[in-house]
Amino acid sequence: MVSAAEATSLARQAHSDGDFLVARERYAEAARIYREQNDILAYAHTLRHLADVCRREGKLAEAKPLYEESLEVYRSNLDTKLLDLANTVRPYALLNEEQGDLDSARLLWEEARHLYGSLRIEAGVSEANSHIGRLYSED
């Protein structure tokens, strides 16, 4: 039996190699272990990566609840790092765009812009501004 850290490492490598099936399996395994260990922030982080793999595969319906659960954990935990929250809001905004839910996408991009701005991460602010501008021009 592998540890959560080992499963995560294997998942990252598989994701990097484009082996999404193995990446999904290993991230799911790591998430299960983190949940059993009650390491809730590591669980949320792993769910976000699992959702990212699903989104990259075009499995948007599978990715959505994973992002939502990750965000729920992050938003309800006082120990959440703003960067982890921002890095989960961002791909969830992308997912909402891809699904055509432009109102939700705009709100999420505005949240991401605020979070990245508070962290002084200009690349994140710029990306959010770009998406927000495009989404408002589509109305």
72 & 91 share domain = no
Residue 26: helix, strand or coil by DSSP?
A: helix
The Cα–Cα gap between 127 and 104 comes to: 17
pLDDT at site 1: 80
Q: Which pLDDT tens digit goes with each residue over 37-93?
A: 999 999 999 999 999 999 999 999 999 999 999 999 999 999 999 999 999 999 999
| pLDDT range class, residue 136, cuts 50, 70, 90 | confident
28 & 56 share domain = yes
CA angle 49, 52, 54 (to 5 degrees): 115
Give the C-alpha distances (Å, rounded to integers) separating 1 from 5, 32, 47: 12, 13, 20
119 & 71 share domain = no
Domain end point (choices 57, 77, 97): 77
What is the extent of the structural domain holding 109? 81-139
Q: Which pLDDT tens digit goes with each residue over 15-27?
A: 999 999 999 999 9
Q: Which two tokens stand for residue 89?
A: 């809001």
| pLDDT range class, residue 139, cuts 50, 70, 90 | low
